[in-house]
Amino acid sequence: MGTVPSALKHCLSYQHLLKEQLWIAEPPAAAHPAQEPQASGLPEYIKIVEVGPRDGLQNERVIVPTDIKIELINQLSKTGLPAIEVTSFVSSKWVPQMADHEEVMRGIERHPGVQYPVLTPNLQGFHSAIAAGATEVSVFGAASESFSKMNINCSIEESIERFEEVIKSARNVNIPVRGYVSCALGCPYEGNVVPEKVAEVSKRLYSMGCYEISLGDTIGVGTPGSMRKMLEAVMKEIPLSALAVHCHDTYGQALANILTAIQMGVAVVDSSVAGLGGCPYAKGATGNVATEDVIYMLNGLGINTGVNLRAVMEAGNFICTALDKKTNSKVAQASFSTGTIN
């Protein structure tokens, strides 16, 4: 559209407009009537769960030094994000990136009002997490037997028994537990995953005591069609308020899938700053959806998140510089290239 060279030459005022935060501004307190969430049936507030430091970094090839991890989390703590997944108390043999879990847990600033959940795949990990000061933990189930076997070397049933120990111990010390269900929209080994299976596993985790179930499109194959079908099945078993979606952007579908979920009333969304974390099942492909891009969309919908987009972009810029990689966030790419952020 139009002529490329002259358009760029003449666009001096664009940078000025962006500096006035025209596109990345926080939504006004009273959103435009046509965009009011209630009018469109959308939640008024959405909790963003930032998984960059754990899910993101875990899927990055370069091992990140502990002080960089801590600095990243500290920067994220200042953005308004209500929950930041810090690390994983898993054996360093399996996940070398998370070998410094104790140091990270002990080293970060803990901001009031911000949750810092950690992954605890078993009782041993749980105990270490508590000893290191964790006040919330997460367990990971899957809706696919093959994935469960390949990932943690046991059946779904066995994994749930393992988690039961964790959840029981957590209950004893008043620690909330979040449950993840992987492969909610497809499995790299089994292909299609039946929505009823997702509902079944979710229900198990929820009845065992998980306060929230995060439904993960682990390989990003889901579309608004399959997201809707899966959520319809799960919502029969679990209250909406206890559901979250964890979408991967491997096929570019994440924001459309998230939009579908929030149109159905889901009000918790996982994302990763700068879209950190590739896909272990598709070399070179992307993984997590970028927090910046999610917030940009939610701002545009007039939905409150409490998160400062600019601050997240700066944290994203920090970690990408440290990792010597380009951001996976399109909002960040567009904003940096126009000089909004230096």
Instruction: Measure the CA–CA gap between 8 and 66, rounded to whole angstroms.
Output: 42
Q: In the complex, what is the shortest distance from the CB of residue 71 to another protein, in angstroms, rounded to a whole number? A: 25
Instruction: Measure the CA–CA gap between 336 and 96, rounded to whole angstroms.
Output: 32
Q: In the complex, what is the shortest distance from the CB of residue 253 to another protein, in angstroms, rounded to a whole number? A: 6
* Region binding another protein by CB under 8 A among candidate stretches 100-108, 110-118, 165-173, 188-196: 188-196
Site size with another protein, rule: CB under 8 A: 73
Q: With binding defined as CB under 8 A, does residue 256 bind another protein?
A: yes
Looking only at residues 92 through 121 of this chain, which bind another protein when binding is defined by CB under 8 A?
94-95
Looking only at residues 286 through 325 of this chain, which bind another protein when binding is defined by CB under 8 A?
286, 290, 293, 296-297, 299-302
How, if at all, do strands 83-84 and 47-50 pair? parallel
| Shorter beta-carbon distance to another protein: residue 6 or 174 | 6
| Shorter beta-carbon distance to another protein: residue 164 or 281 | 281
Looking only at residues 150 through 179 of this chain, which bind another protein when binding is defined by CB under 8 A?
150-151
Pick from 13, 172, 174, 342 the residue near another protein by CB under 8 A. Answer: 13
Angle at 225 between CA 145 and CA 288, to 5 degrees: 65
Q: With binding defined as CB under 8 A, does residue 271 bind another protein?
A: no
Alpha-helical runs (H) found in 270-308: 291-300
Looking only at residues 225 through 244 of this chain, which bind another protein when binding is defined by CB under 8 A?
225-226, 228-229
Q: In the complex, what is the shortest distance from the CB of residue 82 to another protein, in angstroms, rounded to a whole number? A: 22
| Shorter beta-carbon distance to another protein: residue 108 or 313 | 313
Contacts of 266 (CB under 8 A, 6+ apart): 43, 231, 240, 243, 244, 245
Q: With binding defined as CB under 8 A, does residue 280 bind another protein?
A: yes
Pick from 48, 179, 251, 261 the residue near another protein by CB under 8 A. Answer: 251
Instruction: Measure the CA–CA gap between 43 and 34, rounded to whole angstroms.
Output: 15
Full strand arrangement of the beta sheet holding 83-84: 83-84, 47-50, 268-271, 243-247, 212-217, 177-182, 137-142, 118-119
- Per-residue b/e over 164-180, b at no fewer than 16 CB within 10 Å? bebbebbeeeebbbbbb
Pick from 123, 264, 285, 322 the residue near another protein by CB under 8 A. Answer: 285
187 in catalytic set: no
C-alpha distances in angstroms, 252 versus 193, 222, 325?
20, 10, 19
Pick from 123, 240, 259, 322 the residue near another protein by CB under 8 A. Answer: 259
Looking only at residues 31 through 70 of this chain, which bind another protein when binding is defined by CB under 8 A?
32, 34-35, 40
**Structure token digits, residue 225:** 């069609």
Instruction: Measure the CA–CA gap between 309 and 186, rounded to whole angstroms.
Output: 31
Q: In the complex, what is the shortest distance from the CB of residue 126 to another protein, in angstroms, rounded to a whole number? A: 22
Instruction: Measure the CA–CA gap between 200 and 219, rounded to whole angstroms.
Output: 20
Q: In the complex, what is the shortest distance from the CB of residue 128 to another protein, in angstroms, rounded to a whole number? A: 21
Query: Of the residues 183, 187, 279, 320, which is catalytic?
Result: 279
Q: Name the residues annotated as catalytic.
A: 279
